[in-house]
Amino acid sequence: MSRVGDRARLEARVAKKSFRTASGQSVPVIADLSFALEEGETGALIGPSGCGKSTLMRILAGLDRDFEGAVHLPERGRVGMVFQEPRLLPWRSVEDNLRLAAPEASEAETAALFAALGLSEHRAHFPGELSIGLARRAALARAFAVRPTLLLLDEPFVSLDAPLARQLQRDLARLVESRGMTAVLVTHDVDEAIALADRIFVLSPRPAHVVGEIKVKNPRAAMSAEESQAVATRIEALRDAE
Amino acid sequence: MALRLISLLALVVLWQVAAHFANPRLLPGPLVVFATMKSEAASGALFAALGITLARVAAAFVLAMAAGTAIGYAMGRSALFDRAADPWIIVLLNLPALVIIVLAYIWVGLNEAAAIGAVALNKLPVTVVTIREGVRALDAKLDEMARVFGFSRTKRLVHVVAPQLAPYFAAATRAGLSLVWKIVLVVELMGRPNGVGFEINTAFQLFDVPLLLAYALPFTAIMLIIEMLMVQPFERHVSRWRPRAA
């Protein structure tokens, strides 16, 4: 089906993915969607809610194999994922949650991760004792602890208040850049996409396909307000064209 | 704890008051029953009966919990197996305990295997149904998380599935212990030459109410202690991660 390119690339080609409704009808969710990321790049998938972004993430994560097409993960694909909800095991401490996912992570590594995400004092806490912001940090720490070659982020900051989301975005950007991994971010927040991604893929409403790809100037930190405004305008234009 | 003791004490006082007004042959007071208990204990008969009955309770309970958990888990996981086995479970649930016991004694014989098997079979469907409910309530999102992060089968069972099933297991244990020991007494009464049930039958033949209570009460006390020292601490342990309500 798909051509085998550079093994380090992430390539996803979903020709068709549909769901069967209770009445037996087949509803297409994704049609002819393809995108690729070079090693170490962060890509953002941005699109209207319900367009099939989360379905696409489940396909990338290997949770859903019932589709037509092919996905090539970066070599020796070790996947770390942050779901829309933290999905921590409530009966294990923050530290145990991390160790269960990444048993081979060294003590120094986990300590550094906890420190980078402001979790050092919360290692022994159970997830139920954390605020939602801290729980999301713990979910991020777990995803990084497995030293992923592919990091999947499914609206990781949804339902957080804006200042907290910005803070976590900064922490996340630092970690992704310092550790060099390929990452896919699903979001409906244009600013979040510009702040984190090297490439932005704008998706159509259901059934989803890529309507446009925008390369964001690197390094992003050097980007002026006008430049990021220009990117945002292009994204809006692509969305409106649909 | 203090409240529980006071509540138990109130029951004893109520008993004493009732005995004061009733025919002493029908309802002897606590002191009379206690004296009977002491003499039965001194002869060793009480402990022998308690021991053998407790052993039967333990055997039937472990058997029913092990098989019931395995079957309930399989039924919760597989829709096909659930549909196939469900009618059997409904039949077992609605078959009177007495019928199972009588049939077991007729088909297998008046022996220990028939007695314990009959009790386990009575308890089995309740365990199956409880554990099946627990398996159906398993969080699919945590299961996905475990798959993405490559948890092994054992790791998933121990750290993801078992903690979610623990409350259901505790509920099945609690409901099961009381059910099992009640049925064990019936089984002993009908076809065993020893145990608390057998002694109660003897007391019934002699119309000896103090003797009947002297055997029944210590056993009830033992079950209460097991509940308080084993079942409740287990429940507390498995729910220690839940934020406590203020």
CATH of the domain at A173: 3.40.50.300
Asked whether residue A88 falls in the same domain as residue A103, the answer is: yes
Asked whether residue A175 falls in the same domain as residue A140, the answer is: no
Asked whether residue A40 falls in the same domain as residue A154, the answer is: yes
Tell if the CB–CB gap between B151 and A62 is shorter than 8 Å.
no
Residue in chain A nearest B139 by alpha carbon: A87
The distance of A34 to chain B (nearest Cα, Å) reads 22
Half-sphere exposure at residue A148, Cβ-oriented, CA atoms within 13 angstroms: 25
Residue in chain A nearest B149 by alpha carbon: A101
Q: Tell whether B147 is within 8 A of chain A (Cβ).
A: yes
Tell if the CB–CB gap between B149 and A126 is shorter than 8 Å.
no
Per residue in B182-216, pLDDT (tens digit) is: 999 999 999 999 999 999 999 999 999 999 999 99
- Parent domain of B69: 31-238
Whether B20 is covered by a domain: the verdict is no
Taking residue A156's Cβ as centre, other Cβ atoms within 10 Å add up to 27
Q: Which of A83, A91, A128 sits opposite B145 (nearest CB)?
A: A83
Q: Which of A82, A83, A87 to mutate to test the interface with B (most CBs of B within 10 A)?
A: A87
Whether B186 is covered by a domain: the verdict is yes
Whether B231 is covered by a domain: the verdict is yes
| Of the listed ranges A37-51, A82-96, B101-115, the one predicted with least confidence | A37-51
Let me know: does A119 contact A131? Beta carbons within 8 Å.
no
Whether B154 is covered by a domain: the verdict is yes
Q: Which of A59, A82, A84, A91 to mutate to test the interface with B (most CBs of B within 10 A)?
A: A91
Which residues, at least 6 apart from B70, have a Cβ–Cβ distance to it below 8 Å?
none
Tell if the CB–CB gap between A126 and B241 is shorter than 8 Å.
yes
Residues 7-66 of A with CB under 8 A from B: 58, 61-63
Residue in chain B nearest A147 by alpha carbon: B149
Residue in chain A nearest B141 by alpha carbon: A87
Residues 133-152 of A with CB under 8 A from B: 142, 146, 152
The distance of A151 to chain B (nearest Cα, Å) reads 11
Which residues, at least 6 apart from A127, have a Cβ–Cβ distance to it below 8 Å?
A86, A88, A89, A90, A92, A94, A97, A135, A138
Q: Mapped to the 3 state alphabet, what secondary structure does chain B carry?
A: CHHHHHHHHHHHHHHHHHHHHCCCCCCCCHHHHHHHHHHHHHHCHHHHHHHHHHHHHHHHHHHHHHHHHHHHHHHHHCHHHHHHHHHHHHHHHHCCHHHHHHHHHHHHCCCHHHHHHHHHHHHHHHHHHHHHHHHHCCCHHHHHHHHHCCCCHHHHHHHHHHHHHHHHHHHHHHHHHHHHHHHHHHHHHHHCCCCHHHHHHHHHHHCCHHHHHHHHHHHHHHHHHHHHHHHHHHHHHHCCCCCCCC
- Parent domain of A28: 1-64+149-242
Number of domains comprising chain A: 2
Cα A176 versus chain centre, distance: 11
Number of domains comprising chain B: 1
* H or E, element range at A90: none
Domain termination site, one of A90, A124, A147: A147
Report the distance separating Cα A92 and Cα A90, nearest Å: 6
Tell if the CB–CB gap between A79 and B148 is shorter than 8 Å.
yes
Domain termination site, one of A120, A147, A174: A147
| Of the listed ranges A1-15, A183-197, B128-142, B217-231, the one predicted with least confidence | A1-15
Whether B47 is covered by a domain: the verdict is yes
Whether A70 is covered by a domain: the verdict is no
Q: Which residue has the tokens 């200042």?
A: A163
Whether B146 is covered by a domain: the verdict is yes
Q: Tell whether A158 is within 8 A of chain B (Cβ).
A: no
Mean pLDDT rounded to a whole number for chain A: 86
Q: What is the pLDDT of residue A3?
A: 45
Domain termination site, one of A147, A167, A184: A147
Asked whether residue A50 falls in the same domain as residue A170, the answer is: yes
Asked whether residue A52 falls in the same domain as residue A26, the answer is: yes
Asked whether residue A153 falls in the same domain as residue A143, the answer is: no
Instruction: Kindly indicate the confidence band of residue B43, based on its pLDDT and cuts at 50, 70 and 90.
Output: very high
Q: Is the pLDDT of residue A242 over 70?
A: no
Whether A110 is covered by a domain: the verdict is yes
Whether B18 is covered by a domain: the verdict is no
The distance of A90 to chain B (nearest Cα, Å) reads 7
Q: Is the pLDDT of residue B173 over 60?
A: yes
Helical residues (DSSP H) of A28-155, grouped into ranges = 53-60, 94-101, 107-116, 132-145
* H or E, element range at B24: none
Whether A74 is covered by a domain: the verdict is no
Query: What ipTM goes with this model?
Result: 0.85
Q: Which of A84, A87, A61, A50 is nearest to A160 (CA)?
A: A84
Read off the pLDDT of each residue in B49-69 and give the average, rounded to a whole number: 95
Tell if the CB–CB gap between A146 and B149 is shorter than 8 Å.
yes
Instruction: Kindly indicate the confidence band of residue A220, based on its pLDDT and cuts at 50, 70 and 90.
Output: low
More confident residue, A159 or A201: A201
Residue in chain A nearest B150 by alpha carbon: A101
Instruction: Kindly indicate the confidence band of residue A2, based on its pLDDT and cuts at 50, 70 and 90.
Output: very low
B35: CATH = 1.10.3720.10
Asked whether residue A119 falls in the same domain as residue A239, the answer is: no
The distance of B75 to chain A (nearest Cα, Å) reads 23
Report the distance separating Cα A118 and Cα B234, nearest Å: 34
Asked whether residue A124 falls in the same domain as residue A40, the answer is: no
Whether B12 is covered by a domain: the verdict is no
Joined together, the tokens standing for residue A69 give 């097409």
Q: What is the pLDDT of residue B201?
A: 94
Residue in chain A nearest B143 by alpha carbon: A87
Cβ pairs A/B, distance under 8 A? 49
Per residue in B87-137, pLDDT (tens digit) is: 999 999 999 999 999 999 999 999 999 999 999 999 999 999 999 999 999
Omega before residue A219 within 30° of 0, cis: yes
Q: What angle do CA B82, B88, B93 make, to 5 degrees?
A: 110
Q: Tell whether A129 is within 8 A of chain B (Cβ).
A: yes
Asked whether residue A242 falls in the same domain as residue A153, the answer is: yes
Angle between helices A132-145 and A94-101 (to 10 degrees): 30
The distance of A209 to chain B (nearest Cα, Å) reads 25
